[in-house]
Chains A and B, each alone.
Chain A
Amino acid sequence: MAHAGTLEIKNLNKQYTVKGEPLPVLENISLSIKPGEFVSIVGSSGCGKSTLLRLVIGLEQEYQGEILLDGKRIVGTSLDRGIVFQEHRLFPWLTVEQNVGVGLLNADLSPAQKKKTVDEHIALVGLKGFETAYPYQLSGGMSQRVAIARALVNRPEVLLLDEPFGALDALTRSHLQQELQRIWEAEGITAILVTHDVEEAVYLGDRVVVMQPRPGRIKRIVDVPLPRSRDRGSYAFSQIKDDVLSEFSDTPHSDVKLVTPQESLGANWQFAW
């Protein structure tokens, strides 16, 4: 079994430069994730949650502060971190087993070991029998399973998930959430899930990190002390879900003044005159 990584983010700041002006994307993010923990990050679009994930995987490099995996600063991509993107990003010219094998291209294993590990992970995501299928022959949910297998095949210390089920239909999504939980438990791995689906965040996470936009900051961290597998219909579950949702619902009140129909009607009349 993989060794689960400890991830520490300390005073992380990140900015882009847009037309010569610095645009802060992430501000003062500090988050410490225990080995084997499942952390969900929720936030509306533009809160920098995907940028945070891209920094942890190493696809974005420049930042202030520290991102440490097992105490070592993260520099670039590495096989000790796996990622599943929102789109499956499989290579269409490779079969399922070849796509999973892409993860092991640079692994220090013999061909026989690689074959065995690939087979194990195809079985883990429930795709036995589809080894030689091409991506165009798979449904969206199956393609995402292959992407999960590819991300896990190196037995990384941390699995990063960037809205992995965002493009799937509701039924497939809830089924894959269960599957992901099973896989996470089987692998005993540290996982970070970025999503805009609060129910998904609460269903899967040990903790839910709520982020707010412009610039991206951590607003609150909500613990989910429910045993697994969680019942989405239970009272305790919906209480936590409502608690997280309340972090979003209060923003419009403070930021946006509601316009009553009468007021707008009057404004229209005035405009007509």
Chain B
Amino acid sequence: MTTSTISSDASLPQLRRFDWRGLVLPAGFLLVWALVTALGWVNTKLIPPPQAVLSTAVSFIGKAQFFNGLGASLWRDLAGFAIGSLAGVVFGALLGVSRWAGRIVGPTFHTLKHIALFAWLPLISTWLGQGDAAKVLFIGLSAFYPVALGALEGVHGIARSQLEVARVYGFGRVQLLFKLILPGASPQILAGLHLALIYAWLATIGAEYLLAKSGPGIGDAVIQGKAAFDVPLVIFGMLLIGLVGALFNQIANRIEARLLRWRDARH
């Protein structure tokens, strides 16, 4: 499964020193971009020079619209992520622990997860309109699946031999959950949360594109840029979205490496 590869990569960045060679390609791209626009080889209406994007960024960052937009997007993202991932842990763990729940709910869940995320949007907007509630629900749904699947996989992975240890030391139900099941499943749960954080941000932007005309947001700013044929603004918006996503990924890497420090680094 993809979740396990992500979790094993997660502990590496902290151990590795920063490698400057990774900057060669972006720097080269920036150079070519600056060159072709400066030499007039391309239509600068469609491909503006980097300095135009930079000056747009500088002026846009100064505006209240920027902070409101970014703030609104982040707020929706984190709200949806929190709700969806909490529901995911509870649901996935329950499905993993209870044979009964696994039999009754499992098949339905494993079928429903194949509905493409964006296919839920028409239904959600029909029920909840295009406001924040619909967006947060959609973002929550995007976070729910990877976390639920991670928790389910993690709980299933707990060895019988460890459950016997719990029996020998007389663990009660609550102790079983918090002293064995959740910590035992934590690598897969964290891998699921990591994916969920990325999915939730994608869903945040996607929801702003597809549930348009609904208040501020960073995706909304990009749409306005497109409507005004302000290509520098569109590019700046894209970069900003990518930057926020990368930042989330870094934070997730750090947290994961910290929480899973009990695992062999060579794992």
A-to-B contact residues, CB < 8 Å: 57-59, 77-79, 82-83, 85, 87, 89, 91-95, 102-103, 105-106, 134-136
**Chain B's interface: helix, strand, loop or mixed, by majority?**
helix
C-alpha spacing A67/B52, complex, angstroms: 85
> Is B165 a contact partner of A89 (Cβ separation < 8 A)?
yes
Q: Is the CB of B214 closer than 8 A to any CB of chain A? A: no
Which residues in A have their C-beta under 8 angstroms from that of B99?
A: none
| 4 cross-chain pairs, A with B, having the tightest CB-CB distances, nearest first | A136-B264, A106-B170, A134-B262, A93-B183
Closest to A153 in B: B169
| A to B CB contacts below 8 Å, 14 in the list | A57-B168, A77-B167, A77-B168, A87-B161, A89-B165, A91-B184, A93-B183, A93-B186, A94-B183, A102-B165, A102-B179, A105-B175, A106-B170, A106-B171
Q: Report the minimal beta-carbon distance from A266 to chain B, rounded to whole angstroms.
A: 50
**Chain A's interface: helix, strand, loop or mixed, by majority?**
loop
- The answer to whether residues A77 and B262 also contact, given A85-B161, A105-B179 and a CB cut-off of 8 A, is no
> Is A59 a contact partner of B164 (Cβ separation < 8 A)?
yes
Q: Is the CB of B162 closer than 8 A to any CB of chain A? A: yes
Q: Report the minimal beta-carbon distance from A78 to chain B, rounded to whole angstroms.
A: 7
Q: Is the CB of B263 closer than 8 A to any CB of chain A? A: yes
Which residues in A have their C-beta under 8 angstroms from that of B264?
A: 136
> Is B263 a contact partner of A92 (Cβ separation < 8 A)?
yes
Q: Is the CB of B72 closer than 8 A to any CB of chain A? A: no
Which residues in A have their C-beta under 8 angstroms from that of B83?
A: none
> Is A105 a contact partner of B169 (Cβ separation < 8 A)?
yes
Interface size on B, residues (CB 8 A): 20
Residue of A59, A89, A95 contacting most chain B CB atoms (<10 Å): A89
Closest to B165 in A: A89
Question: Chain B 157-181, CB within 8 Å of chain A: the 1/0 string?
Answer: 0000110110111111001000110
Which residues in B have their C-beta under 8 angstroms from that of A91?
A: 162, 165, 179-180, 183-184
C-alpha spacing A228/B184, complex, angstroms: 42
- The answer to whether residues A92 and B165 also contact, given A105-B179, A106-B170, A106-B171 and a CB cut-off of 8 A, is no
Question: Chain B 168-205, CB within 8 Å of chain A: the 1/0 string?
Answer: 11111001000110011010000000000000000000
Which residues in B have their C-beta under 8 angstroms from that of A134?
A: 261-262
Closest to B187 in A: A93
> Is A103 a contact partner of B262 (Cβ separation < 8 A)?
no
Closest to A95 in B: B262
Which residues in B have their C-beta under 8 angstroms from that of A89?
A: 161-162, 164-165
Closest to A79 in B: B170
- The answer to whether residues A59 and B167 also contact, given A87-B161, A93-B183, A105-B179 and a CB cut-off of 8 A, is yes
Q: Report the minimal beta-carbon distance from B153 to chain A, rounded to whole angstroms.
A: 17
Which residues in A have their C-beta under 8 angstroms from that of B184?
A: 91, 93
Which residues in A have their C-beta under 8 angstroms from that of B165?
A: 89, 91, 102
Closest to A78 in B: B170
Which residues in B have their C-beta under 8 angstroms from that of A77?
A: 167-170
C-alpha spacing A91/B175, complex, angstroms: 14
C-alpha spacing A95/B262, complex, angstroms: 8
C-alpha spacing A106/B179, complex, angstroms: 12
Which residues in A have their C-beta under 8 angstroms from that of B172?
A: 106
Which residues in A have their C-beta under 8 angstroms from that of B183?
A: 91, 93-94
C-alpha spacing A102/B264, complex, angstroms: 21
Q: Report the minimal beta-carbon distance from A192 to chain B, rounded to whole angstroms.
A: 15
Q: Report the minimal beta-carbon distance from B193 to chain A, rounded to whole angstroms.
A: 16
C-alpha spacing A105/B167, complex, angstroms: 12
Which residues in A have their C-beta under 8 angstroms from that of B180?
A: 91
> Is B169 a contact partner of A136 (Cβ separation < 8 A)?
no
C-alpha spacing A79/B169, complex, angstroms: 6
Chain B residues 109-168 with CB under 8 Å of chain A are 161-162, 164-165, 167-168
Q: Report the minimal beta-carbon distance from B57 to chain A, rounded to whole angstroms.
A: 44
Which residues in B have their C-beta under 8 angstroms from that of A87?
A: 161
Which residues in B have their C-beta under 8 angstroms from that of A59?
A: 164, 167-168
Which residues in B have their C-beta under 8 angstroms from that of A92?
A: 262-263
